[in-house]
Amino acid sequence: MKKIITLVGVFAVSISYAQIKFEKGYMITNSGEKKEVLIKNLDWKNNPEEFEYKQDGTSAIKNEGIKNIQEFGIEAGSRYVRKTVMLDQSSKELNQMSEHKNPDFTEKTVFLKYVVDGKAGLLYYENNKVERFFYTLEGSEAKQLVYKPYYSDYNTVNYNEEYKKHIYENLNCGLETKVIQNTKYTEKELTKIFTAYNQCSGGAVTNYTPANAGKHFFHLNIRPGVNFSSVTTTDFYGSTAEETKISKTSFRIGLEAEYVLPFNKNKWALFIEPTYQYFKGEADVVVSPGTYFETQVKKTVDYKSIELPIGIRHYLFINDQSKIFINAAYVFDFSMNSTINNGFKTVDITSGSNAAFGVGYKYKNRYSAEFRITTARNLKRDQTIMNEKYTTSSLILGYTLF
């Protein structure tokens, strides 16, 4: 099992490197020189501090970063500009939220991502802790649009919405007060405000937000397949342990809900897949062979359950129609009227949970095939004299309904 998991991991890493795509872009150095290059587009969730690029399709990969580059961008994609700003470090997490209204500003040099460019520019910064918007007016220094949740008296959460004041005082062309008051601190709503202002001001406006940016894609997939399963039973008769392995091929059917995350070029997804599986097998076993107590018994397993894998998936794009994926999941199991008989007594199955790992291929975002393996699942969590482990590998076909 460990060898298989290792091979899957090595295969995935190899494919990941093989599918690296560099896209047309540019960078501006500290001296002001603009260079046309190919930039590795990671569709960054967090604002980068460095990036990889190539001079052309055959040249070596190089690294550049915020120390030497004042701006870089990708053709028909994102644009980043280096700015030294006062960045509010306040947390929105309840257990780390501050008890005062004012921002916790720290000076920091970062790459800000352009959302809207024009007479008034809207820029964005995100790391693992904060999400902040900034604005510029006719080339001025970038200033933060302040929005801060904080604890007030009686452990209630209040909000510093100073960004609305910034908008009202600086972007007062074509915007009603009511519209500003109802504007939320989101990319979608702030983009509308800055676009409206720039259009009202009569200047050019560039919107860097893709049409599908921020969309969360949800898919529903039918997933029939074949299980190649084994139940290994270990029974203890006095000081003697008797181990038996029963293997069967059976049918499984699942219905998967997949949620594609809206960053990193839609390469990551979460999924949950309720699945019905049925294992029924038997074996003739000689107990205590070569002794006075030698006897032959029939061991039987009748195991039905609803499995509930909850996991994460990573897509590796080959071209516009084909992609490979790898996934890992934690599998909850709910057995139904299931029993094991060791030849002497029948006991109910009380199954545990286990892990699953898979690698697959998807075509035209519609058809898929996956090979999946699992770690051992204990079928008798509450027994000490019987020990049963269930393992399976599966070949799963898929059809995406939407």
Residue, of 45 and 367, whose pLDDT is higher: 367
User: What values do phi and psi take at 398, rounded to 5?
Assistant: -140, 150
33-44: average pLDDT: 91
- The pLDDT tens digits of the residues spanning 126-185 come to 998 899 999 999 888 999 999 999 988 777 899 999 999 999 999 888 788 899 999 999
CB 267 within 8 A of CB 251: no
Helices and strands in the chain: count of H runs, count of E runs: 4, 25
pLDDT of residue 210: 67
- The pLDDT tens digits of the residues spanning 237-296 come to 656 667 789 999 999 999 999 999 877 778 899 999 999 999 999 988 777 776 777 778
Residue, of 18 and 362, whose pLDDT is higher: 362
CB 83 within 8 A of CB 112: yes
Rounded mean pLDDT of the chain? 88
Residues in the chain: 402
CB 275 within 8 A of CB 310: no
Q: Which two tokens stand for residue 336?
A: 């139904």
- Please choose, from the candidates 74, 180, 163, the residue with its C-alpha nearest in 3D space to the C-alpha of residue 122: 163
- The pLDDT tens digits of the residues spanning 171-209 come to 888 788 899 999 999 999 999 999 999 999 888 899 987
Q: Which two tokens stand for residue 114?
A: 């352009």
Residue 396 has pLDDT above 90, yes or no: yes
Which residues, other chains included, contact 152 with Cβ-Cβ below 8 Å and sequence gap of 6+?
99, 158
Q: Which domains does the chain have, with CATH numbers?
A: 18-207 (no CATH), 217-400 (2.40.160)
**Around Cβ 225, how many Cβ atoms within 10 Å?**
20
- Whole-angstrom distance, CA of residue 132 vs CA of residue 147: 8
Residue 360 has pLDDT above 90, yes or no: yes
pTM above 0.75, yes or no: no
CB 293 within 8 A of CB 343: no
Which residues, other chains included, contact 214 with Cβ-Cβ below 8 Å and sequence gap of 6+?
187, 188, 262
- Please choose, from the candidates 40, 50, 156, the residue with its C-alpha nearest in 3D space to the C-alpha of residue 94: 156
CB 255 within 8 A of CB 222: yes
Residue 19 has pLDDT above 70, yes or no: no
